Amino acid sequence: MTKSPFLESVRQEIRTMRYSIKTEKSYLWWIKGFILFNDKKHPNDMGNHEIERFLNHLAINRQVSSATQNQALCAIIFMYKNVIQREIKNLKYGFTKRDRAIPTVLTHEEAMQIIGNLKDKYWLIASLLYGCGLRINEALKLRVKDLNLADNTLFVFRGKGRKDRYTLLPKSLNESIKNQIEKAKLIHHKDTCEGYGLTSLPPSLIRKYGHAAKDFSWQYLFPSSIRCEHPHDGYICRHHIHETAFRKQLRQAVLKTGIAKRVKAHTFRHTFATQLLLNGTDIRTVQELLGHSDLRTTELYTHVIGSRFSHTISPFDRKVI
C-alpha cells in the first residue's frame, strides 16, 4: 500500500516531538478522516470553513462526545501549527467543555467479587489496578525491574503527564507476582535462545541501552504472546499484552457477578482512591499515590464517598415526634 507523503510528514513531526504511539495513531486517524471528509483536498488548501464543517459533522451526524471532538480538533490544530506552519484563528467552534462527572466506584466486596471471576494474569492485572491504584496502561507497562517485593513498593515509569511515581504494592500479591515473573522469564529465555530477547523500548532508547534491553530486568511483567517489529526503530522485540485482551476478560467477569454498574479498568483506580479515603488516609497521600498534579482532581473522590454530607440526615429518615 502506497503511503501518503503528507501523512508521513505529519508522522515524522509527531515523532520528533516525542508524542506517544497512541497519540500518533489517534492524530493520524483524525487527520486522515478530516482530509477524506473534505473530498481529499490538501490541508494546505483548506482552512476554517472546512474545519468547522468537519467538527459540525462529528457533533451532529456522528454524535461524538466532547472529549472525542476535542481530540479531533487537537489533531487538526497540531497539523496546521507544526506541519503546514499556519495558525488557525477565529474558529466558530472551539474546544468543548467536558462534563465533570463523578466517577463510578465499587465497594470493596464488589471489587473483590469481580477480581475473583478473573484467572491467571488477568486476575493479577485487576489486582494491581485495585491494589496499587494504577491506570491500565501503567499496569501493562510494568517491567520486572519496577517491582520491589522486599519493601512492597512499585515504580510507575512515565505515567500520565510523563510523571514518575512510587505507589503501594500489596504484600498479598507477592506470590502471584513471583509466579508471573517466572512465566515472563520462560518466554524471555525462549526468545534469547532463538536469537531475539530485546524488549520494546520508547523511541530511540535502543541506541542508548543497546543489548542491555535484552536483560531480563527490562522485560515486561505481562509480555505479549508474539514478537513484533518496533513501530519506530524497526527491531524485533516483545511488547506487553494489549489492553483489549484485558477488557474482554473484565467484561465477562462483571457479567458473571450481576453487578449493575458500568465497570471499566479505570473503575478499580477510582475504587482504590475512595477506599483509602474511607479508611482515613490523608488526601495528600492519596494524591501522591495516584500521581495527580492538582489536589482538586483528588478531591473529586470526597464527593464520591459523600464526606460533605456525612452529618446530614435525609428528611425521609427523621422520626415524627
> Residues 31, 38: contact at Cβ < 8 Å?
no
Q: Which residue blocks in the chain are alpha helix, DSSP H?
A: 5-16, 21-37, 48-56, 66-78, 108-116, 120-132, 136-140, 174-193, 205-209, 243-257, 265-278, 283-290, 295-304
Instruction: Look up 239 and say whether it is catalytic.
Output: no
Instruction: Look up 135 and say whether it is catalytic.
Output: yes
SS3 91: coil
Handedness of CA 143, 145, 148, 154 (dihedral sign): negative
DSSP single-letter state for residue 319: P
Instruction: Tell me the C-alpha distance between 26 and 20, whole Å.
Output: 10
The single residue of 92, 108, 119, 160 carrying the catalytic annotation is 160
Neighbour-count burial of 183, counting CB atoms closer than 10 A to its CB (0-12 exposed, 13-18 middle, 19+ buried): middle
The single residue of 27, 80, 122, 301 carrying the catalytic annotation is 301
Instruction: Look up 166 and say whether it is catalytic.
Output: no
The single residue of 165, 227, 230, 266 carrying the catalytic annotation is 266
The single residue of 121, 135, 141, 240 carrying the catalytic annotation is 135
CA angle (255 as vertex; 253, 261 as ends), nearest 5: 105
In this structure, the number of other CB atoms found within 10 A of the CB of residue 18 comes to 11
Instruction: Tell me the C-alpha distance between 45 and 123, whole Å.
Output: 52
| Main-chain phi, psi angles of 143, to 5 degrees | -105, 160
Instruction: Tell me the C-alpha distance between 48 and 256, whole Å.
Output: 50
> Residues 227, 194: contact at Cβ < 8 Å?
no
Residues 6+ apart with CB under 8 A from 61: none
SS3 153: strand
Instruction: Look up 292 and say whether it is catalytic.
Output: yes
> Residues 247, 111: contact at Cβ < 8 Å?
no
> Residues 138, 165: contact at Cβ < 8 Å?
no
Instruction: Look up 160 and say whether it is catalytic.
Output: yes
> Residues 238, 200: contact at Cβ < 8 Å?
yes
The single residue of 11, 143, 270, 292 carrying the catalytic annotation is 292
Instruction: Look up 284 and say whether it is catalytic.
Output: no
Catalytic residue ranges: 135, 160, 266, 269, 292, 301
